[in-house]
Amino acid sequence: MTDREAFLAGNRPDDVAFFLHDDAVSNPEALDEYAESVANGLVLVLPGEKGASAFQSTTGIDPMALAQAAMDTPGEIDRDLVSGTCPMVDERPENEHHVRFVFAFAEAQNEEVGGIYAEGDIIHAYAVCACGERYSEKWVADAPEKSE
């Protein structure tokens, strides 16, 4: 099981995961020791504070500011964290739409809160599209993809 798979299964609740698209990384070789190479970029899973700091230094975006900006805009982020569907794709068809960055963290199951939080550990994911839109999605860890 890769670090990303363990994170997505809810087995690494103290870590953060983030995706960097190829066009967002000027020197991907510098991250080889820490990153999982995927078809269109890199995924890193790192301990919480270290991971948040690494995301910010790599992207120039504070992850908590990203979360705040994205949380009110629902979108679709694929469960592998490396792609998604921008909610503005129909309203800005002239723009390029692909995920440039994703930042994700896990939250432990909390039955007192109810709803989705009672179902299991939750993955919170926040994406930045190439068009500039910021959006979010959350799901129960290790839950299967939603059927269309």
- List, in order, residues 6 or more apart from 109 with CB less than 8 Å away: 117, 118, 119, 120, 121, 122
Q: What pLDDT is attached to residue 97? A: 93
Q: What pLDDT is attached to residue 27? A: 79
Distances (CA, A) of 35 to 21, 29, 92, 124: 12, 9, 32, 20
Nearest to 66 by CA among 100, 90, 108: 100
Q: What pLDDT is attached to residue 143? A: 53
Give the C-alpha separation, 87 to 71, whole Å: 13
Q: What is the CA radius of gyration of the chain?
A: 15
Give me 37's structure tokens.
Answer: 């190479």
Beta strands 76-77; 41-47: pairing state: unpaired
Residue 78 burial (C-beta neighbours within 10 Å; 0-12, 13-18, 19+) = middle
Per-residue pLDDT of the chain (148 residues; tens, 9 = 90+): 899 999 999 999 999 999 999 988 877 778 888 899 998 999 999 999 999 999 999 899 999 999 999 999 999 999 999 999 999 998 888 888 999 999 999 999 999 999 999 999 999 999 999 999 999 999 999 854 443 3
* End-to-end Cα spacing for the chain: 27
With tokens 């390029």, the residue in question is: 96
Nearest to 24 by CA among 138, 142, 141, 127: 127
Q: How many CB atoms lie within 10 A of CB 55?
A: 25
